[in-house]
Amino acid sequence: MDTWSYFRTCLASIWLHRFYIYSALALGISLWIVTQFTTTKTKKKGEKSSGNPTSSKGTEDKLVNGCATPQAEEVYVAGVKIFYGSQTGTAKRFAKALAEAVTSLNLPVEVINMGDYDPDDCLAEETTSRSICVFLVATYTDGQPPESAAWFCKWLEEAANDFRVGKTHLKGLRYAVFGLGNSVYVDHYNTVGRRMDRWLWMLGASRVMTRAEGDCNVAQSRHGSIEGDFQAWKAKFLTRLQALCRGEKKPCSGKCKKGKCKSPGKQSKESSDHERGASEHENTEAEELFETSSEEEADAEEAGGTNSIIDVEDLGNIMGHMKKAKREHELQEGDVGRRENPGRKEEEEEEKREMITPALRDALTKQGYKLIGSHSGVKLCRWTKSMLRGRGGCYKHTFYGIESHRCMEATPSLACANKCVFCWRHHTNPVGTEWRWKMDQPELILQEAIENHQNMIRQFRGVSGVKAARFEEALTVKHCALSLVGEPIMYPQINRFVRLLHQHSISTFLVTNAQFPEEIRSLEPVTQLYVSVDASTRESLRRIDRPLFKDFWQRFLDSLKALAEKEQRTVYRLTLVKAWNVDELKAYAELISLGKPDFIEVKFKVDGEWFTWIDYERFQELVRERERSGGSRTFTAADYTARTPPWALFGARERGFDPLDVRFQRRNKARDVSGC
């Protein structure tokens, strides 16, 4: 009983003093929470100041239940890749100097000559490599890049302006550009660096700092020499690189004014402290060294770029481009909507854009093209001019009997599905894998083609040396070479266009790049069908023709098979480029066996005589007979061959030159430039 009484007394005492007990417990818990919070904050602050979030903990802290923690996975900068394009060695020297400075920060670094780098295959990989890409590029003669950087720059330009390449193609790539130039050349000062900066931005890449420019003109250089400009920029870049290593996210939006970045988003405290602590002298240098590229990119935004901040005034333009892109996407999806609602066909046709843009029209017009409608063109061949003067015709005159002064070179489609490295049209024509533009009717194209061709011929009236008889003959077109530029067979109404030419008694010589096998199969008879065989293996074709189709090799083989099914004359055009494809003779032989062209495997030696020429009148008769029979009456190449004249045979004294003409040699030129 005494024990029980004592226990009751204790419980009563605790109950009476419960308030003090609760207070003591609450105070103890509060002190423990404050201690834990303070300790954790101190640890985090120590990790941040170390500059490497993954090095502050040991290996044992990096795994939780066998899995890497998010903090252990995150590496903000994996390394730096320095690309240089140099003509005299200055950019290369700067690249090595920058590499040494980056190495001192314990970061992996790689120095790359742009001439040894294939951006088509490798540059997209940098979007996920977490490396910082630095581009040191010089501007050479007439604003052109150095020879070693020419292909790199050309690829960037084409990708940035190619509507098939997405505007996020290089999203994730972080970069900085330092251009080398000479302000004495006012019109071309640092144009290569400026363009490269813009093209990268247009492809979705993010600047880590605004473009900088070094000036070889010591009188205008901000720091007394291009070396001084580079040293000032290098110091800024290294500071920015260290900030990136700490995980600061402050990308340049392209709206920078005199080096002061106006990028959106909250800046880190460390970055703000660093900027506040910078001296007035350093700020002045930054203002002088860096210059804005916002004016250049405003143009790009109007073209559909949306990577940077958009002003309210520009919102209408951006929305317009977005609607246009949406319409184009719907057109790519197929013809389902058109089949369900045929009444929209004309409306959709109006919504399609024209193939020839104003800039393209200006460029082609300067090159001598006479453009027709929205996607066709005609141009006067130099051999037409030569034969008007009686100085000889092109090889087709020797091989096939074409009268060069009566030949019209034209195309119903300026677009092509390849971007060949040897393209003699300088890649000015548009590219695509299908017809997605407004379409002109074949009657309009033919009428304007003949009119434009005749107008160009009339310019030779009264020109010294022009033969009057040939001038009159030239006004009547007898042949049409559908090989001017682009891929004529892409034109959806190519068969109607060919029929119209034949109705005007104009022979047809059509060239295709062997990427449209179905169109070749469905093509109506032409006088002679050419296929350009630019390579004999898949890899060399990819490198040389740079086709747009992913299944380009199968399309190529299927096109050759389709050629073998043709009953009319067919020709392989072999394009051999030294050091590219001339050593693939066995593979070429296999392709020849596949397509069975008439003018590799010559089939027209009859009774000991060669029949390589064409009886053009007989061809037109056969075409008309086929049309009258509704296509049931066919004909073959042998039905319209003609005997080859003796002067056009191999070994003839005339060496393939028509004796009716007179050889012409240009002044101070020893070699023969006429004939074949």
The three-state secondary structure class of 556 is helix
The predicted structure's pLDDT at residue 139: 92
Q: Longest C-alpha distance within the chain, in Å? A: 147
CB 555 within 8 A of CB 517: yes
Closest CA to 237 of 93, 86, 77, 90: 77
**How far from chain centre, in Å, is Cα 116?**
19
Strand partners, 85: 137
- Min mean pLDDT across 52-61, 324-333, 578-587 is at 52-61
How, if at all, do strands 479-482 and 109-113 pair?
unpaired
CB 164 within 8 A of CB 417: no
Residue 414 pLDDT > 50, yes or no? yes
CA–CA distance, 84 with 92 (Å, rounded to integer): 6
Write the single-letter amino acid at 615.
D
The predicted structure's pLDDT at residue 653: 85
The three-state secondary structure class of 573 is strand
Mean pLDDT of 267-286: 37
- Count Cβ atoms below 10 Å from residue 557 Cβ, excluding itself: 16
* Segment 465-519, tens digit of pLDDT: 889 999 999 999 999 999 888 899 999 999 999 999 999 999 999 999 999 999 9
* Segment 319-375, tens digit of pLDDT: 555 555 554 444 444 443 444 455 555 555 556 788 888 877 887 887 778 999 999
Residue 455 pLDDT > 60, yes or no? yes
CA–CA distance, 159 with 125 (Å, rounded to integer): 15
Backbone angles phi, psi at 372, to 5 degrees: -125, 125
Tokens 């900027």 locate to: 275
* Segment 608-642, tens digit of pLDDT: 788 888 998 999 999 999 999 988 888 998 899 88
Highest mean predicted confidence (pLDDT) among 4-13, 251-260, 262-271: 4-13
Q: How far is CA 430 from CA 286, 414, 610, in A?
A: 41, 7, 41
How, if at all, do strands 370-372 and 212-215 pair?
unpaired
* Segment 524-574, tens digit of pLDDT: 999 999 998 888 889 888 888 888 888 999 999 999 999 999 999 999 888
CB 380 within 8 A of CB 485: no
Question: How long a stretch of residues is the chain?
Answer: 676
Give 600's pLDDT tier (boundaries 50, 70, 90): low
- pTM comes to 0.49
For 496-503, the CB contacts below 8 A with 24+ separation are: 496/442, 497/412, 497/442, 497/445, 497/446, 498/523, 498/524, 498/526, 499/524, 499/627, 500/442, 500/443, 500/446, 501/446, 502/620, 502/623, 502/624
Strand partners, 347: none
Mean pLDDT of 205-229: 88
Q: How far is CA 72 from CA 64, 241, 247, in A?
A: 10, 20, 13
